[in-house]
Amino acid sequence: MRNILRNNIFALVFGFGFFWTKTIHAQPVLAYQVVTSGLSNPVDVVAAPVDGRLFIAQQSGLIRIWNGTALSNFLNINSVLTSPLGGEQGLLSVAFHPDYNTNRYFFVWYTNSTGAMTLGRYRRNETNPDIADLASGQVLLTIAKPGSPYFTNHNGGKIIFGADGFLYISTGDGGSGGDPFNSAQNGASLLGKMLRIDVNSFATSAPFYDIPASNPFLTLGDGIRDEIYATGLRNPWRWSFDRANGDMWIADVGQLLWEEVNWLPAGTQSGVNYGWKCYEGTNTYAGGCSPTLTDTVAPIFEYGHNSTTGGFSITGGYVYRGTEFPALQGYYLCTDFVSPNLWLIRPNGVGGFTSVQQSAVLSNISSYGEGLDGTLYAIRRSNGTLYKVIVTSVLPARLQSFTGNAAPGFNQLRWNSLQETNTQSFFIEYSTNGTSFTRVGEVAATGIATGSAYEFKHSGAQSGTVYYRLAIADADGSVRYSEVITINSTTGAAIKIWPNVISNRLLQVETSETIRQLELINSNGAVVFRQRNLSSTGRFTTNLPALASGMYIVRFFANNNTFQEKIVIQ
């Protein structure tokens, strides 16, 4: 199995120094505007090609149409679903063939009467576009669930056609907790995977689909199912493509501690391994696999299990590509199903990602959808309501820069606002891991409409790499967050490396601390090499891969510290 490395949550921005400056985008403030109610346990919303009407899948098996003024019934597949329904079982997703307007084919993902994950194909009525033909149903693929009796949870799943015309399917690891059969890392199993199949033959007898010639695991005898496109997922309930560039964004529901978002840029060679159950987010999973993998793809964003800065079950959304709200352009939106928190994530322009959190919004959002014009929609399972995602305002204070650098005895933070509207205060928040933040100070806003310059000294920060963000409070009590900056204040480091100029790919390391992980970061901020679970002290040698000549950052994660140093590879 061949895996590639990508940016992780810690690689937000790493310049070759101890601080960075960057223009902060105006942060949009989101809200949900009611479109219609009267739904029952809605789980997916999709716009049909050309048609543009919204089709809403209800967990009971009923697919309903919203035509802009009223709801109507399109198809009910309740008779083929698990009975009795409950939890994570039932109708889960719907996808329309790109040529649906002419061939009338659409596909559904559900759990059948035996609990198996099932891909079904149906056809719209030939003369009436408002109804589908139940008798046209054809099962294309079933994936049995493990356990005795079978586990009812972790069924995935979202089905979406890619720009390549192939159908992508996200599957859960089969259920229970901790992936007891290690299905996500088992290439012989379709559980815990992203699948890609060709359904364009519309076959009426088995096999009902073909394998794309560019799928990554087609080698005879490799023991890996040909349908697999990516591995190592726990329960990727909702994921999407960026309609502007084809990037794949996968929100994967966590186990005990972390929720995560994975990213696969368009054109990247497939076959990646996202790490479950060796890893939960960027962290080694306590009940993980053996041997622990070292070359998996880490998420670009994660949040912890808490109600304040995190949540407990992620719902993935889309990258906004509409025109109605320019401030939202290019942001990926995800939310938590349990807590009232959502996040906006976007590339930072230098190989990493930035994220901002918005709190006190709706919980129980089960899915997002995208209109043909790029409008974003959301459905709330608890009250059966379809919403439009709207921008109500932008961040009260628009930041031009936010920087920090280490000084003897303290860290110096400075920021400049371009504009302020009803801004009350800037709360300084501090973290030692980049995810869990504590407030360490407050600076009152000047309220000057054209902006002001601010600074804050933080004493008592630990040595090594630490993280800061600003919680910007509006006069109405709402809070929005800046991007995160990083400061490295290591002095007398417990980890030493040599030489600084490497010509033989050998890096010498001396450490008095136990090193958990080593990373090599290129000048674009991308992680190009990683070794995990080194558990080494004293002196040792690391063999670096063959890399392009240039300047790199070597970064170590120790038990109580982080350390990074510049090297040059010749």
Question: pLDDT tens digits for 173-186?
Answer: 999 999 999 999 99
pLDDT digits 0-9 by tens, 253-277:
999 999 999 999 998 767 999 999 9
pTM for the predicted model, two decimal places? 0.73
Q: Could you tell me which residues are beta bridge partners of residue 122?
A: 106
268: amino acid identity, one letter: T
Q: What is the pLDDT of residue 15?
A: 27
Across 348-374, average pLDDT = 89
Across 338-358, average pLDDT = 86
For residue 508, what pLDDT band results from cuts at 50, 70 and 90?
Answer: confident
Final residue of a domain: which of 444, 464, 488? 488
Neighbours of 104 (CB within 10 A): 18
Neighbours of 339 (CB within 10 A): 20
Please give the torsion angle defined by the CA atoms of residues 529, 532, 535 and 540, in that order, rounded to the nearest 10 degrees: -20
Q: 509 lies in which domain range?
A: 495-569
Lowest mean pLDDT among 5-19, 519-533, 551-565: 5-19
DSSP string, 29-77: EEEEEEEE---SSEEEEEEPTTT--EEEEETTSEEEEE-SS-EEEEEE-
Lowest mean pLDDT among 133-137, 363-367, 465-469: 465-469
DSSP string, 169-192: EE----SSSS-TT-GGG-TT--TT
For residue 491, what pLDDT band results from cuts at 50, 70 and 90?
Answer: very low
Q: Judge whether 55 and 94 are in contact, CB under 8 Å.
A: yes
**Count of structural domains, the chain:** 3
422: amino acid identity, one letter: N
40 shares its domain with 100 = yes
211 shares its domain with 108 = yes
More confident call, 482 vs 60: 60
Length of the chain: 570
228 shares its domain with 317 = yes
Across 283-297, average pLDDT = 85
Across 4-14, average pLDDT = 32
Task: Tell the residue number behind the tokens 């040059």, with chain if given.
Answer: 568
pLDDT digits 0-9 by tens, 401-417:
888 888 878 899 999 98
280 shares its domain with 351 = yes
For residue 482, what pLDDT band results from cuts at 50, 70 and 90?
Answer: confident
CA 180 to CA 188: how far, in whole Å? 15
212 shares its domain with 225 = yes
More confident call, 105 vs 346: 105
With 0-12 / 13-18 / 19 or more C-beta atoms within 10 angstroms meaning exposed / middle / buried, residue 84 is: exposed
**What is the 8-class DSSP label of residue 101?**
H
CA 217 to CA 209: how far, in whole Å? 17
Q: Which of 528, 399, 429, 422 is nearest to 475 (CA)?
A: 422
506 shares its domain with 480 = no
pLDDT digits 0-9 by tens, 30-45:
999 999 999 999 999 9
549 shares its domain with 430 = no
Q: What is the pLDDT of residue 16?
A: 26
159 shares its domain with 255 = yes
Q: What is the pLDDT of residue 176?
A: 95
Q: What is the pLDDT of residue 20?
A: 30
CA 345 to CA 357: how far, in whole Å? 9
